[in-house]
Structure formats: structure tokens, C-alpha cells
Amino acid sequence: MPTHLRPLLLALALSATPARAGTPRLAVVTLEAPPELQFTGKSAAEAFAREAGMAGFEVVGPDAVQQQLGRAGHAALVACGDDAKCLSERGAKLGVDRIVCGSLRKRGPSYRVTLVHADAKTGARLGSVERDIPIATRRLQKDVAAAAPVLLAGAKDAAGILKVETEPPGADVLVDDVPVGRTPVERRVQPGKHKVKVARAGWVDAEPSWVDVPANETVEHRPRLYPIPARDRPNPSASEGQGTAVQRIK
């Protein structure tokens, strides 16, 4: 998301709010996550809440949500994840206009973040985004905050297209550690960085690459493969060799 577009999207978000007195009140809830990621889910929600506050929303942050609902009520709300209707029903006591929540998971070397923007009165799903954020980059909070303009504007993420080609073709491709076929291959992915691994029998494996795929764009990834010299290739089996007679000694 280009920085210069953020103010415009946030202005659209505010203008789309039904006419009412005062500033729109937005509750930002700790992301639903497994036990080992609960603290991370809260810190990501706090980063989003700060961004929303700078956009002009009256924000009820994760700590304030828990204080208002109590431990049990808060846990029930967090468990809604990205279910907009559930968020509306269980967050009714907050007295806000909108609610943002979602989920956080580990997926191989990345975090998978899903966020939903819900109308707190009707349970309507106003917007949603997904992000795959490499764990090693330590960009979780920053990238979640950067998703605020799109989400608060009531938009949905537009996907990008990742194309992987090799010479020669026929190499096995993994995207985010998931097999997607053999080159040339095309994959629709969420915007962001994706881990691409390419391998072909008889060729030196290419090192994994992180490929950034913007929304509504097509990115071509062309890793170079180098043939393994015949003398260094492993024999197909114990009884077969290349240029060598294999005999069993009795």
C-alpha cells in the first residue's frame, strides 16, 4: 500500500460511516491465536489500534475491551476470530460502532494474519484482509498496522499473481512450503512476501527466495538452475551406474 494513498483511504472510511453524532467508535480486539501466540496476537492488535487512532477513530483498544467485558466475556469475543456476526453479538456491551478482530497462525516460516472489519450493530462484514508475513522479517506489527487503511475503508484485499518459470521447465515448485506444481506454474496469492522453493532432479537446488507480490499485479520469478555434472550425480540404484560396471561379490 503506497504511503500517499493512506490518507485518502482513511478519509473514505470515515465518510462511509452512517451519520451520527461524534467520532466513530472502533473496538480493536486481541487476535484469536493458539496459546503460544496469544501475546503476539495482542501486540499486533495494539499496533492496528494505534494506526486507527491516528486515522481519527475513537478507539477502544485490546486492554479496554477486556476491562469492559471481563475475562470470560473477552475470551468469548476473541474466540469469534473473523466471524463478523459473532463479533457483533458478543461485543454488543462495548457500545461501539465497529469492531476489528481476526486470527493469527503460524504457517511454515510465516505468520498468517486474517482481519475482519465488522459493523457492531448489524454484524455486517465491512471489509477483510489476509497477510502472510515472514517470521524472520520481524514485520508483524508494522504490516498489520499498514493494513489499516484498506480494512477501515471497507475494502477487501485484491490478490496478486505469482508466476514461476525455469529453464529447463518441469521443476517442482513450493510456495510457502506448499507444493503447487511444476514449472511453468501460476498461482493466485495474497499480497505480500512469499517463500518460493524450486527443485529439479539432476539440477542443483535453487536457494529459497522471498518474492514480493503486490495486489492486482503479476510477478514473474525465474530462478536459475545449474546442471549437476554426470560424475557427481548419484546412481539411480545400487545395481545401476553411469559409466561404471556394478558387480556383486559373493
Q: What does the pLDDT profile of the chain (250 residues) look like in tens digits? A: 455 555 444 444 443 434 344 678 999 999 999 999 999 999 999 999 999 999 889 999 999 999 999 999 999 999 999 999 999 999 999 999 999 999 999 988 889 999 999 999 999 999 888 888 888 888 899 999 988 888 888 756 567 889 999 988 999 999 888 888 999 998 878 777 888 999 998 888 778 888 988 877 889 999 888 888 765 555 555 444 444 343 444 4
DSSP string computed for the chain: --GGGHHHHHHHHHHTSPP-SSPPEEEEPPPB--GGGHHHHHHHHHHHHHHHHHTT-EEE-HHHHHHHHHHHHHHHHHTTTT-HHHHHHHTGGG--SEEEEEEEEEETTEEEEEEEEEETTT--EEEEEEEEEEGGGT-HHHHHHHTHHHHHTT-BPPPEEEEE--SSS--EEEETTEEEEESSEEEEE-SEEEEEEEE-TTEEPPPPEEEEE-TT-EEEE----EEPPGGGSPPSBTTB-SS-------
Question: Which domains are assigned to the chain?
Answer: 3-152 (3.40.50.10610), 160-228 (2.60.40.1120)
